[in-house]
């Protein structure tokens, strides 16, 4: 069997990222492992396993790049919550041992697609008039569902349900579910609620007539101005995340969101 090719991806804009990158390099060298090193803006293909050092934003960017390749993505958290990461800097040595001993499992995460854009977390559509509500029409499989008078609309994957969608009042979804969720942002009606649909459905969002251009973003990192309908569907690409035992989704909810914990007990 061919030797696995490793890579270290780091974000030099995040505090301590270079230090952790240097520490990880030493760990791999001591174990006789060959690897490549690159900044988040210098990504290259040809790797089987990619250590990504940074917050969720760094991991999202690397995940989109390595989507549908044979590369496994493993996140090392230097951000805040770090939902996509598997270990902190303090746990790095233990994590490296587990990975080199193949003590991990793989989850393939569904992605969204709109034209040339893909997203692991979400697509967000907002009015070009900052601070103003707009009327957005939602169609599923070409049939109109409803109009939303809102600041915008989030189309989220299960992976992204703990991101912007959660802040906007959307549900928390187990990442392996085969669904998407449509979440209106600050809707101007009491009857507008998030909608969970199968990921096989085709979603169309368009603004009201004469509304002008509106803005579209992918994972909060890629932005464009849109003047026509936005047709969103499941991407044929998936992201393969390497996950450690004991880091299952419900543990992440409990440990990072303090799920079901009394505020008095949160430290």
Task: Give the pLDDT of the chain (267 residues) as one tens digit per residue.
Answer: 468 899 999 999 887 899 999 999 999 999 999 999 999 999 999 999 999 999 889 999 999 999 988 899 999 987 665 678 778 788 899 999 999 999 999 999 999 999 999 999 999 999 866 667 888 999 999 999 999 999 999 999 999 998 999 999 999 999 999 999 999 999 988 888 999 999 999 999 987 665 567 889 999 999 998 888 999 999 999 999 999 876 666 666 666 665 666 555 555
DSSP letters, 22-56, are HHHHHHHHHTT--EEEEETTS--S--SEEEEEE-H
Domains of the chain in start order, with CATH, are 6-102 (3.40.50.10330), 113-235 (2.60.200.30)
Whether 56 sits among the annotated catalytic residues: the reply is yes
CA angle 231, 235, 241 (to 5 degrees): 140
pTM across the whole model: 0.89
Active-site position among 56, 122, 151, 219? 56
């Amino acid at each position: 069997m061919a030797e696995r090719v490793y890579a270290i991806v780091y974000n030099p804009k995040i505090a301590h990222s270079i230090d952790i990158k240097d520490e990880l390099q030493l760990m791999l060298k001591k174990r006789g492992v060959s690897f490549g090193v690159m900044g988040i803006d210098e990504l290259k293909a040809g790797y089987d396993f990619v250590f990504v050092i940074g917050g969720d934003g760094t991991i999202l960017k690397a995940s989109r790049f390595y989507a549908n390749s044979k590369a496994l993505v493993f996140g090392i958290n230097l951000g805040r919550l770090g939902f996509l990461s598997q270990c902190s800097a303090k746990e790095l040595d233990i994590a490296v041992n587990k990975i080199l001993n193949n003590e991990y499992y793989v989850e393939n995460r569904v992605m969204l697609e709109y034209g040339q854009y893909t997203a692991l977390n979400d697509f967000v559509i907002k009015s070009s008039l900052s601070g103003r509500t707009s009327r957005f029409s939602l169609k599923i499989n070409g049939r109109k569902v409803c109009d939303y008078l809102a600041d915008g609309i989030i189309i989220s994957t299960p992976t992204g349900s703990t991101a912007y969608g959660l802040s906007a009042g959307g549900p928390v979804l187990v990442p392996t579910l085969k669904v998407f969720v449509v979440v209106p942002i600050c809707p101007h009606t009491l009857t507008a609620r998030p909608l969970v649909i199968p990921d096989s459905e085709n979603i169309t969002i368009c603004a009201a007539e004469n509304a002008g251009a509106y803005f579209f973003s992918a994972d909060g990192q890629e932005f464009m101005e849109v003047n026509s309908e936005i047709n969103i569907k499941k991407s044929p690409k998936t992201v393969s995340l390497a996950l450690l035992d004991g880091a299952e989704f419900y543990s992440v909810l409990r440990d990072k969101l303090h799920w079901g914990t009394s505020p008095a007990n949160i430290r």
